[in-house]
Amino acid sequence: MTWTREKRYQPYSAYSEIIKQSLEKKVATSIYKPGFHISPASGLLNDPNGFSYYNGQWHVFYQAFPFGAVHGLKSWVHCISDDLVHWHNLGIALQPGGQFDSHGAYSGSAQVIDDQLFLMYTGNVRDNDWHRSSFQLGAWMNKHNEITKINAPLITAPKHVTDHFRDPQLLKINGTYYALIGAQDKQSLRGEFSLYRSDNLKDWQDMGYVQHELGDLGYMIECPNLVYVNDKVVLIFCPQGISKDNLQVANIYPNVYAIGSELDLETGKWQAEQQTIVQLDDGFDVYASQAFNAPDGNAYLISWVGLPEIEYPTDQENWAHCLSLVKQLKVVNNQLYQLPVPAMSTLADAEEILSENQQQLVADAGQQYELKLNLAANQTGNLLLVSDGTTAHSLQLKFDTNDEGYLIVDRSNVGEKFATSYGETRQILLNTHQALTLDIFIDHSICEIFINGGEKVMTLRFFAPQQQTMIAFAGQNTIKYSGSYLSLSNM
Ligand code: FRU
């Protein structure tokens, strides 16, 4: 079907239950469907929204267009979990279509306020000439997961921003509410962090833009997100159109972080620890990540694994994208570490300790597993995942723990090709002459690689035939390693 603008924005009621069920039935048979990552029953998933802990459970919502793999009329779909690993999908929670969100309930966040969960999000509105207006809206969710929208905007766009004004992160600090909103300045047409303040969630005061020295961040900032980690303040965001002088990046749009000692909420001044921004994930497909400070004292992060404006092979199957695993954050030496949450171990059926220093690690690993590897220092090799034993059909992890120190992920020969104009490899540098530890999660069409205890993460989608199930090293040189393989069950 051709997705005309009219079709993408027609009300959900235009689709019958039968159409929806037949779409979902087809998607369920896809060989690319993940087993332990949140993915849509049909249609498109993008940003995680409202990541929170409320009423004794973890909550995450995601941006959804349920009827095709296109960015159409967006709603929020709601997922809940007891352990941040097993997620239960409750379906659409926040519907678009009101006066202030007629063309989409766009991204936002959540805060527990009294005994309810308050959702703050962007209402996207288009007029007949397709001019956009953005409203920052609110909604209450009660303990029965029922949502009531507030029928007047909390914040209307100030005169100094363009119609690109969205993705509020609601913060509650010492009894005062703050909203950090992605904005484009009307005069300079540059991306800014807009800061608002309120005592009662109703009256909001414009505090201007966050003042920072992170350089020119491009023409728009999407999904700004502040999280407190080990006495540091981590600012996570998606700068669109950032110059290569400020950040070397291969992806169409990056998702980055900066570490500060403080964001002064009175003056809006960001006190950076370093004046540099760093990619949150060194792989191919992470965007719109959302982190929050949970009542258990930890900071958790979840990402959209997908990028805007890129076609993925499952578009043909009427579904697209998934969320990442939840990651626990820590800051060590002004560097953000991301780790799988401890409850991931509950997915393992059995742990098999691998025989050391073999060419073939696992003959038939399936496509749903965790691989923990410790590669000794001073060697160069190529680890083949999702492989038939040849480099011609594998996801390749080329590493050097010798004089050069690198890890390269090469998805050029694993299966269906996509996004090739943005390159088919991603590389990180490693300390030379040091062992390399990898914690790798493979889930049918997604791979998440945690490097050296979460110091770096590389995430990617790949689309390989089901029979590629081997884990082996390329070539005949003996590679020194130890490790284990865990087959993982569905969530
Ligand atoms: C980021 C984004 C947000 C917006 C949402 C719409 O991927 O463009 O800025 O709120 O997606 O789905």
pLDDT reported for residue 6: 95
Minimum CA distance residue for ligand 1 atom 12: 106
What domain count does the chain have?
Answer: 2
| Domain co-membership, 382 together with 453 | yes
| Domain co-membership, 148 together with 235 | yes
| Domain co-membership, 296 together with 355 | no
Domain boundary residue among 274, 309, 340? 340
Residue in 122, 125, 167, 307 to alter for ligand 1 test, most ligand atoms within 8 A of Cβ: 167
| Whole-number average pLDDT of the chain | 97
Are the C-beta atoms of residues 277 and 289 closer than 8 Å to each other? no
Q: What would the pLDDT profile of 246-256 be if each residue is shown by its tens digit?
A: 999 999 999 99
Q: Does residue 275 surpass a pLDDT of 80?
A: no
Distance 99 CA to ligand 1 centre (A): 19
Q: Write the CATH number for 376.
A: 2.60.120.560
| Domain co-membership, 262 together with 360 | no
Q: What would the pLDDT profile of 175-201 be if each residue is shown by its tens digit?
A: 999 999 999 999 999 999 999 999 999
Distance 214 CA to ligand 1 centre (A): 23
> What's the CA gap between 233 and 27, in Å, rounded?
40
The lowest-confidence range among 86-95, 267-276, 303-312, 346-355 is 267-276
**In this predicted complex, what is the ipTM?**
0.99
> What's the CA gap between 264 and 152, in Å, rounded?
29
Q: Which atom of ligand 1 is nearest to the CA of 106?
A: 10
Q: Which atom of ligand 1 is nearest to the CA of 122?
A: 10
Provide the token pair at 425. 């490899």
| Domain co-membership, 124 together with 109 | yes
Domain containing residue 23: 5-340
Are the C-beta atoms of residues 26 and 303 closer than 8 Å to each other? no
The closest of 190, 195, 226 to 209, measured between CA atoms, is 195
In the annotation, is 47 catalytic? Answer: yes
> What's the CA gap between 363 and 467, in Å, rounded?
11
How far lies 228's CA from each of 166, 195, 223, 263, 401, in Å?
Answer: 22, 17, 16, 10, 33
- Is the C-beta atom of 122 inside 6 A of ligand 1? yes
Distance 46 CA to ligand 1 centre (A): 7
Q: What would the pLDDT profile of 80-106 be if each residue is shown by its tens digit?
A: 999 999 999 999 999 999 999 999 999
- Angle ∠(216,74,223) on CA atoms, nearest 5: 25
Are the C-beta atoms of residues 449 and 443 closer than 8 Å to each other? no
pLDDT reported for residue 444: 98
Q: Which atom of ligand 1 is nearest to the CA of 287?
A: 7
Q: Which atom of ligand 1 is nearest to the CA of 222?
A: 9
- Is the C-beta atom of 63 inside 6 A of ligand 1? yes
Domain boundary residue among 318, 340, 362? 340
Q: What would the pLDDT profile of 257-273 be if each residue is shown by its tens digit?
A: 999 999 999 899 999 88
- Is the C-beta atom of 106 inside 6 A of ligand 1? yes
pLDDT reported for residue 287: 98
| Domain co-membership, 313 together with 388 | no
How far lies 232's CA from each of 217, 261, 299, 331, in Å?
Answer: 21, 5, 11, 7
- Is the C-beta atom of 222 inside 6 A of ligand 1? yes
Mean pLDDT over 141-152 rounds to: 97
> What's the CA gap between 480 and 436, in Å, rounded?
11
Q: What is the band of 350 on the pLDDT scale with cuts at 50, 70, 90?
A: confident
Mean pLDDT over 50-69 rounds to: 98
| Domain co-membership, 190 together with 320 | yes
> What's the CA gap between 205 and 197, in Å, rounded?
5
Distance 247 CA to ligand 1 centre (A): 21
Among 47, 101, 285, 443, the one annotated catalytic: 47
| Domain co-membership, 336 together with 348 | no
Q: What would the pLDDT profile of 367-405 be if each residue is shown by its tens digit?
A: 999 999 999 999 999 999 999 999 999 999 999 999 999
Phi-psi region of 104 (alpha: psi -120 to 50; beta: other; left: phi over 0): left
Residue in 125, 126, 166 to alter for ligand 1 test, most ligand atoms within 8 A of Cβ: 166
Q: Does residue 1 surpass a pLDDT of 80?
A: no
Distance 332 CA to ligand 1 centre (A): 31
pLDDT reported for residue 362: 98
Domain boundary residue among 340, 359, 376? 340
Contacts 24+ apart (CB under 8 A), 251-254: 251/284, 251/285, 251/287, 251/307, 251/422, 252/307, 252/308, 252/309, 252/310, 252/419, 252/422, 253/222, 253/287, 253/307, 253/308, 254/279
- Is the C-beta atom of 47 inside 6 A of ligand 1? yes
Q: Write the CATH number for 55.
A: 2.115.10.20
Distance 405 CA to ligand 1 centre (A): 36
Q: Which atom of ligand 1 is nearest to the CA of 308?
A: 7
286 has which bridge partners? 305
Are the C-beta atoms of residues 120 and 112 closer than 8 Å to each other? no
| Domain co-membership, 415 together with 428 | yes
> What's the CA gap between 52 and 300, in Å, rounded?
9
Minimum CA distance residue for ligand 1 atom 6: 106
| Domain co-membership, 445 together with 334 | no
| Domain co-membership, 373 together with 404 | yes
Distance 307 CA to ligand 1 centre (A): 10
- Is the C-beta atom of 101 inside 6 A of ligand 1? no
- Is the C-beta atom of 74 inside 6 A of ligand 1? yes
| Domain co-membership, 162 together with 107 | yes
Mean pLDDT over 57-68 rounds to: 98
Q: What would the pLDDT profile of 112-130 be if each residue is shown by its tens digit?
A: 999 999 999 999 999 999 9
